[in-house]
Chain A
Amino acid sequence: MASLIGFYSLVFGICSSVAIIIFSIQNFRNPKKLNEKILILTFLQFFLVTISFLGLIISFVNSDFSNETVFNHSHTTKPLFYKISGSWGNHEGSLLLWLLVLTLFIFLFILKSGKQPTQYRILTLLFQEIIIIGFFIFLLKTSSPFNYIYPIPEEGLGLNPILQDPSLAIHPPILYFGYVGTSIIFSSSLSAMVVNYISKEWAKHIKVWVLISWIFLTLGILLGSIWAYYELGWGGFWFWDPVENVSLMPWFALTTLIHCILVLEKRLELTSWVIILSITTFTLSMSGTFLVRSGILNSVHTFANDPERGLFILIFLFTLIFLSLFVFFFFHKKETNNKSSFFLVSKETSIILNNWFMMYFLSVVLVGTTYPIFLDVISSDKISIGPPFYHKLIIPFLIPFLLAMTIGPRLKWIKSDLSDKFILIIFFIISLLLSLYIVKTLKIDFLINSILISFVFYLFFITLRDFFNKKYNNLSQNIAHFGFSLFLLSIIFNNILSSEVITNLKVGDTFKSEKLKIYFENITQKNEKNFESFVGEFVVENSQGDVFIMKPELRIYNQPNIATSEAYIRTSLFSDKFMTMNLVQNQEYFNVRYQIKPLMIWIWISVLMITLGGLMSIIKKNEN
């Protein structure tokens, strides 16, 4: 029943979208004020998709296995929480969620943009409706979440256990807020180009959407990383997996966009940058969907390998790309005003410099992700690109990037002279000495490391000092930049100082090394509703004589029958102690992996800080 209602509200939903388009075209020809009907229809469209989404959730909660999606991804023994989150933990449901956010955002946009020119609002709505209808058709035609199966199965197939996790349950919605937010930026910039409304006011108005999308995207990526850290069981949090990459690419573009929008808002410059980035960001989000959903890439996130779906998204994606290219080349007017006003030492220059670096990082990730596909097509060679590729190409270029990030915010617009040069130099010398000392004591002999560390420290100290500097009052930016320096510091030291022990133990065994003693005390078995759990108890003693107990867990899920290992993590301000255990096939031994990971928690905190910077920027704007 719920499925049926869900399906028909989708059908009515697409009808309302078509109605919106018709009314918008009428209204666009006669743009005195926005037709009331349009507002009501956008609400109706959102409402219908909500009903449909609720229908799906109810089917999941009731374990209605006549619904194919529920049958494939749920099971009666699953806890309620994961029945609900399971509704978007699959291809069909997640697309419905995507559509829900799309319709919500356009409704909010129409509601909140009352002060903007009517033609601009209508045209944004029109572009957005093209995207929405595309998704409607995609859902109904190739991936309906409401397919009926008969005879009705007794039991469902269950949700992949590694997805049964609280942070992963909210990871997709948050990420989608970010992705879909970029669609508003996309439509808005196209429409602003057509009606020639690229201006300081436009920048001011769209900045909020940019910031909101950016915050959600950042948080979404963070949640995914935290999940990977404790669930995938080897202590890493970023794998350069293609699907992580596709979320990182829009993030690069969006971060660059934030900075360009600022220049546009203050100086009415970099309009081409802003427009191209607005288009790129959304296109990258869409390409992400394409790469993940078409099965062209294989990864943990691949839901289904259905070429028909892939083909649809591909055509849809390129329709949008060509549409935006057309609008860009025919309507975009190059900025004609005072071009010569850029000086070498100015805020603009440093922002442009960093834009190019960001674009470079973006291209590295883009090439690393898509090149294997292209190569396979062209020459049938199969390569896989791993972390060393990204590290080698990205890390050296962080150095000038960091320098511009440290100095740039201290410069004024147009033309500037560096104030308090003395302090800047002093801080630089301190950072350099500190990093040399660290590199020496830790005996890392890479030149690049010491230079990188000194520049990270430099950014760290300068931003830290600026919190107490009255002359300098851009708090939101300072928090974000400080957060970034903290982020890099944590990652660098985490990488350098992590240590790991892998050993096979059975109950009663002890592992001994100079620094460490691990004693496998016992193992207890518990039966939970949907899995069997084995909890090991290990007594760990380190060289300082601290003794503590670690309890990693092994879960064997019944539906589907998959074993997962749940890491046991002891977090402190300075380091995480991380332990996982795995079954060794047909043996009484367990494979035990014990890791010490310094500063882990600071990686998460620093990302939250970066996000906080964005949040404060929105609040500050509202106060103004």
Chain B
Amino acid sequence: MKIRVIPIITTIFFIIIFILFYRGLENSNIYVPKTNINKQIPTFNAKLYNSSEEVSSSKIFKDNQFYLMNIWSSWCVPCRDEHGFLKELSDEKNLKLIGLNYKDNKESANKFLNELGNPYDIIFSDPKGIIAIDWGAYGVPETYLIKNKMIIKKTIGPLDKNSIMEIKEIIK
């Protein structure tokens, strides 16, 4: 009997597809990236936003202190939405807010801060978006809660009431 190659290959192909879909079902919601917490923060050198002085991140992030690193940009609409929440968090005494100004131009970033207020203690510039890549960011805005150089919470997308409640809960 002649072996029919095409039917066999097609069948195997579809079986593989089936298995892939089946496995895919198990880890659904694939577009919500895993919050990879308890990860060491990357070290980087970056220019400070207000001066052109370059600093190393190891000098900024000290142990036993909570930091909230927020990636933002003036062109990002959700960043405007979350700005109020950031300002609310800036009142917290044991939390330092660090901004990472992502792929932005300085003029509009300044306008953004003048208009909405500046909640950050320190701002880094990331004009080419390279530092954000080191942090594993998916886009702007993105926010990391840091202690002892470890990421303990990561929020993708704008902060909202719930996420700042959680943050306040953690740093209490």
Q: Report which A residues bind B (CB closer than 8 A).
A: 290, 294-298, 305, 307, 310-311, 314, 318, 321-322, 325, 329, 372-374, 376-378, 382, 384, 502, 504, 582, 584-587, 589, 591
Docked pose: A582 CA to B85 CA in angstroms: 17
User: Which B residue sits closest to A330, measured CB to CB?
Assistant: B7
Number of interface residues of B (CB under 8 A): 31
Q: Which of A321, A372, A378 is close to B14, meaning CB atoms less than 8 Å apart?
A: A321
Query: Is A504 within 8 A of B21, CB to CB?
Result: no
Chain B residues with Cβ under 8 A from A377's Cβ?
Answer: 20, 23-24, 27
* CB <8 Å contact, B84 and A586: yes
Knowing A373-B24, A585-B83, A587-B116, the reply to whether A382 touches B30 (Cβ < 8 A) is yes
Beyond A290-B21, A307-B25, 13 extra complex contacts between A and B, CB < 8 Å: A296-B28, A296-B30, A297-B31, A298-B30, A314-B18, A318-B14, A322-B14, A329-B4, A377-B20, A382-B31, A582-B77, A584-B80, A589-B115
Q: Does the CB pair B7–A325 fall under 8 Å?
A: yes
Find out whether the CB atom of A374 lies under 8 angstroms from the CB atom of B10: no
Known contacts A329-B7, A585-B85; A310 and B25 CB within 8 A of each other: yes
Q: Is the CB–CB distance between A587 and B84 below 8 Å?
A: yes
CA distance A299 to B147 in the complex (A): 34
In the assembled complex, 19 residue pairs joining A and B whose CB atoms fall closer than 8 Å, in A order, are A294-B25, A296-B21, A296-B30, A297-B30, A298-B29, A298-B31, A298-B32, A305-B29, A307-B26, A314-B21, A322-B11, A376-B27, A377-B23, A377-B24, A377-B27, A382-B31, A504-B115, A584-B81, A591-B77
A585 engages B18 (CB within 8 Å): no
Q: Which of A290, A307, A372, A382 contacts B28 (CB 8 A)?
A: A307
Main secondary structure of the interface of B (DSSP, over half): helix
Taking CB atoms and an 8 Å cut-off, the chain B residues in 66-98 that contact chain A are 77, 80-85
Q: Which residues of B contact A504 (CB under 8 A)?
A: 80, 115
Instruction: Point out the residues of chain A lying under 8 angstroms from B25, CB to CB.
Output: 294, 296, 307, 310-311, 314
Least CB separation from B16: chain A residue: A374
What's the nearest-Cβ distance from chain B to residue A399, in Å? 31
A311 to B14 CA separation, bound complex (whole angstroms): 16
The 7 closest A-B pairs by CB, nearest first: A586-B84, A298-B31, A329-B7, A585-B84, A377-B23, A373-B24, A295-B28
> Residue B22 contacts which of A297, A314, A502, A589 (CB distance < 8 angstroms)?
A314
CB distance from B149 to the nearest CB of A (A): 25
Distance in angstroms between the alpha carbons of A295 and B30 in the assembled complex = 9
Question: Which residues of chain B (83-120) have a CB below 8 Å from chain A?
Answer: 83-85, 115-116
Least CB distance from A466 to B in Å reads 41
Which residue in chain A gives the minimum CB-CB distance to B24? A373
> Are A296 and B82 CB-contacts (below 8 A) given A504-B115, A591-B77?
no
Residues of A within 8 A of B116 (CB): 587
Contacts of A295 in B (CB 8 A): 28-29
Task: Select from chain A the residue with minimum beta-carbon distance to B161.
Answer: A585
Please report the C-alpha to C-alpha distance between residue A589 and residue B33 in the assembled complex, in whole angstroms: 32
B82: chain A residues at CB < 8 Å are 585
For residue A314, which residues in chain B have a CB less than 8 angstroms away from its CB?
18, 21-22, 25
The B15-69 residues at the A interface (CB cut-off 8 A) are 18, 20-34
Inter-chain contact A372/B81, CB cutoff 8 Å:
no
- Report how far A314 CA is from B20 CA in the complex, Å: 11
Which residues of chain B are within 8 angstroms of A322 by Cβ–Cβ distance? 11, 14
- Complex Cα distance, B25 from A589, in Å, reads 43
Q: Chain A contacts of B18 at CB under 8 A? A: 314, 318
Judging by beta carbons under 8 Å apart, are A374 and B29 in contact? no
Contacts of B23 on A, CB cut-off 8 Å? 377
Contact between A296 and B81, CB atoms less than 8 A apart: no
B77 touches A502 (CB 8 A): yes
Q: Are A325 and B28 in contact (CB under 8 A)?
A: no
Q: Which chain B residue has the least Cβ–Cβ distance from A374? A: B20
Q: How far is the CB of A120 from chain B (nearest CB, A)?
A: 24
Q: Answer whether A585 and B7 are a contact pair too, CB < 8 Å, given A297-B31, A373-B24.
A: no
Q: How far does the alpha carbon of A582 sit from the alpha carbon of B158 in the complex, in Å?
A: 15
Query: Which residue of chain A lies nearest to B33 when distances are taken between CB atoms in the complex?
Result: A382
Contacts of B83 in A (CB 8 A): 585
Rounded to whole angstroms, the CA-CA distance of A318 and B17 in the bound complex is 9
Known: A298-B32, A325-B7, A502-B77. A376 touches B24 (CB 8 A): yes
The answer to whether B11 touches A376, judged by C-beta atoms less than 8 angstroms apart, is: no
* CB-defined contacts of A376 to chain B, threshold 8 Å: 24, 27, 30
For A373, the chain B residues whose CB sits under 8 A away are: 20-21, 24, 30
Among B25, B84, B115, find the residue whose CB has the most chain A CB atoms closer than 10 A.
B25
Contacts of B30 in A (CB 8 A): 296-298, 372-373, 376, 382
